[in-house]
């Protein structure tokens, strides 16, 4: 009986070690993803001439609208392969449009 208890104890310790290893991998992956997103915010902010919060908003909106992972879109921004539409202002913020109606006539 004591031998079985030792085996069970060893199996539990191995399982704990495996769980800890997966947690570390998850943490490192999350950290790497965050670094990519932060770098992409800077790239988009520079290209679009906006602040970091607006750059992230545009990056996130592009990822959602194109059904892509945010980190994948961020990496494409860093690599220079992302569609420039990603950092274009949303239609409601386009500089040629007035928020209160059409730019011409109507009145």
Predicted confidence band of residue 1 (pLDDT cuts 50, 70, 90): low
Question: Is residue 59 packed enough to be buried (19+ CB in 10 Å), middle (13-18) or exposed (0-12)?
Answer: buried
Integer Cα distance of 56 and 74 in angstroms: 9
| Higher pLDDT pick, 12 / 87 | 87
**Is 69 within 8 Å of 63 (Cβ atoms)?**
yes
21's tokens: 């290893």
Assessment of whether the complete model's pTM goes beyond 0.75:
no
What pLDDT, in 10s, does the model give residues 17-47?
A: 766 666 777 777 888 899 999 999 999 999 9
What pLDDT, in 10s, does the model give residues 50-74?
A: 999 999 999 999 999 999 999 999 9
């Amino acid at each position: 009986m004591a031998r079985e208890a030792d085996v069970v104890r060893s199996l539990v310790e191995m399982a704990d070690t495996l769980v800890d290893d997966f947690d570390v991998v998850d943490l490192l992956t999350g950290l790497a993803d965050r670094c990519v997103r932060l770098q992409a915010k800077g790239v988009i902010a520079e290209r679009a001439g906006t602040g970091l919060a607006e750059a992230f908003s545009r990056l996130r909106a592009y990822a959602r609208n194109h059904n892509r992972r945010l980190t994948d879109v961020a990496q494409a921004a860093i690599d220079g392969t992302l569609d420039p539409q990603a950092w274009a202002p949303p239609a409601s913020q386009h500089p040629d449009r007035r928020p209160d109606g059409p730019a011409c006539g109507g009145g």
